[in-house]
Amino acid sequence: MSLSIVENPIVQLTEAAREKIRELTAENPGKIFRLFVEAGGCSGFNYGMSITSPVEGDLRLEEGLDAMIDPACIPYLKGSVLDHVDQLTQTGFRIRNPNAKATCGCGTSFEA
């Protein structure tokens, strides 16, 4: 069975997130933006993002965008929205995750 990320988005991207991902991957030819979840942090799991080489088995977040997700993270991130903010008091990617039972103040750690 083939999973189509475009028809059934795991994580929705805002236009600001798309623009930042395009900018980061353009600055790093041959690399992709990778979204993942790892154990740790004050709430049990951390969101992770990196500009890296493609990893076999990863799934594309959107057609035409060099953005991938670790398939093991799908249960933790399905239905989330990835945004990028660039403001005086905060800059960076932000995830709104409906699956998080609790989050910490830093916004990078959550409980599933």
What's the CA gap between 66 and 17, in Å, rounded?
A: 12
pLDDT at 107 over 60: no
- For the record, the structure tokens of 83 come out as 């945004």
What is the residue extent of each domain of the chain? 11-111
For residue 104, the model assigns a pLDDT of 55
Rg (CA), the chain: 14
What's the CA gap between 89 and 101, in Å, rounded?
A: 26
Q: Please name the amino acid found at residue 37.
A: V
List, for residues 42-100, the tens digit of each pLDDT value. 657 788 899 999 999 999 999 999 999 999 988 889 999 999 998 877 788 988 888 77
Angstrom distances, CA of residue 62 to CA of 6, 10, 22, 52, 83: 5, 9, 12, 17, 14
- Top CATH class of 11-111 equals mainly beta
